[in-house]
Amino acid sequence: MTSKSPLLSRVLWCALIVMLSALFIHAQTDLTGFWVFKAPRGDGTFTESYFELKQSGETITGNTVGGRAQSPVNEGAFRDGKLRFAVSFTGRGGQKGGTPQTLTTTYEGTLQGDKFAMTMTGGRGGRAGRGPTTGEFQRTKAEAAMPPAKLPLPALHDVRDNKLARTPPMGWNSWNKFAGAIDDKAVRGIADAMVSSGMKKAGYVYVNIDDTWELGRDANGNITSNTKFPNMKALADYVHSKGLKIGIYSSPGPKTCAGYEASYGHEAQDAKTFAAWGIDYLKYDWCSAGTIYTDADLQAVYQKMGDALLKAGRPILYSLCQYGNNKVWEWGAKVGGNCWRTTGDINDSWQSLDRIGFGTAVPGGIRKEGEPAPPGLTQYDIAQGATVGHWNDPDMLEVGNGHMTTDEYKTHFSLWCLLRAPLLAGNDLRDMSDDTKSILTNTDVIAIDQDPAGLPLKRVSQEGNTVVYMRPLKGGDIAVGMFNRGDRAADISVSWDSLGVAGKKLQVRDLWKHAAVTVSGDKYTANVSTHAVVMLRVTAK
């Protein structure tokens, strides 16, 4: 036993030396500087989150960098080769104007050489059920975290009308249901379902891929698709073979909203690539452009892509996604826009629908430095800003996504049709209930949206939680929507005099019951359930 003691002592001394050396190295590690957390997404791309850290002893402080707003680093500590910190972000639940929420992201990692093996838990903008994300935390340079320099913008001019979207576009978009989980197989399945479900017959044409299709750029600067979309040209050919059209998504900033490659500095090149693939529709989302430009630059920025699309060699419908900022309805058509977003993102809830459809969800103008935001507007207030070929867009449909009642989805669809809004379904067309299918394929209501006259709606009355809208149609008919925004059933009336048809012989059809309505006297009254609508088409002879 005694003879083994020297060997045991040497082993213990070696272990102690290794441990002390490690502690010395960790003690000498100064984490002050710029860092990036890179995590693989599983499609050939990486998320990138940038930080500027400061170290004082074992305490770590700092901020996120590179976005429009910085968030402080909290609870930061580095000891024994392990780094931990948290970042909290206060945002709005679901959309602008929603309930404020504080979301906290925690980062924990172990030093391995000159970088950390890092795990992120939680996350800003994270979706329900999202688990921990693993990746590498490594040093970077300050310029990597900052947006690129602002490029010169063109002088303003009117972009030639592309003659598309003579009625509001109809189709489908991947974001509301799939977000980043969309891929080639799903898009092909949606195209098949659009035909087999009867939606194509009802007028739906566009199958639109939203964010997360991008990879990066090749040696010649051409944008490329990631592993979820191995061949965009082949996918477009498949969609076209079904008698449908295909859409895609990008941003005028360096990154899309989900942090993928965007079109900044490559507008003309990307427009030609989209045309070569066979793309028919472009949704162009402001996103990271806001880190470079101000809202005052919106018109020139969107004009740049509008010009590029006209020169691309293929008709491509141009959809502006800039959340209604800078009164886009006053200049959207001038930049070649066929439709433009008038509000923040919708979500699948009555509160979101009510606010966007009826409330003051539309930005009132540009907020100058140090001034409060101008008062918001309603979709009704800006209805005159849309004309044939150039439509206000209060965002995509949530019909069938499961968090509203059938009556609420009918209200959603009816109001969008009265507003002459694009009808872009956002549910999984491969698995629709009978109720969902009946709403989305109601050709009587769709005809109101697609009426070729394209006249704006008018408000007939508004009392408490009830509102009545009407819209003149080509040929003299009148569409009427009687909406109950309240939490209990209500009687709602519309007088024939308010529609300008008093004293005439009337034929009235209920567009959800698909039946004629018997009328008498000088008005029509209906008992309307909570969050429901009665939709009429009035013919006067």
Active site residues: 285, 345
Instruction: Provide the sign of the torsion angle of the four alpha carbons 403, 407, 410, 416, taken in this order.
Output: negative
Token readout for 16 is 């102690």
Contact 416, 170 (CB under 8 A): no
Of 498, 468, 495, 470, the closest CA to residue 484 belongs to 468
State how far Cα 344 lies from the chain centre.
Answer: 8
Rounded to a whole number of angstroms, the distance between the first and last alpha carbons of the chain is 115
Token readout for 355 is 């606010």
Beta-carbon contacts of 201 under 8 Å, excluding residues fewer than 6 positions away, are: 441
Token readout for 167 is 């009625």
Give CA separation, 6 vs 9, 12, 16, 19, 441, in Å. Answer: 5, 10, 15, 20, 87
Strands (E), 113-218: 115-122, 133-140, 170-173, 206-208, 214-217
Look up residue 9 and give its DSSP letter. Answer: H
Of 404, 398, 380, 415, the closest CA to residue 533 belongs to 415
d(CA 435, CA 408): 12
d(CA 161, CA 169): 16
Sheet containing 506-510: which strands, arranged edge to edge? 458-463, 466-472, 478-484, 533-540, 506-510, 515-517
Three-class secondary structure of residue 367 per DSSP: coil
Show the CA angle centred on residue 407, arms to residues 401 and 410, nearest 5°. 75
d(CA 398, CA 415): 13
Token readout for 387 is 């004309």
* SS3 letters across 89-107: EEEECCCCCCCEEEEEEEE
Contact 527, 491 (CB under 8 A): yes
Give CA separation, 154 vs 297, 299, 305, 312, 433, in Å. Answer: 10, 10, 11, 18, 49
Three-class secondary structure of residue 491 per DSSP: strand
CB atoms within 10 A of CB 52: 18
CB atoms within 10 A of CB 42: 10
Amino acid at 104: T
Token readout for 498 is 């308010």
d(CA 176, CA 51): 30
State how far Cα 420 lies from the chain centre.
Answer: 19
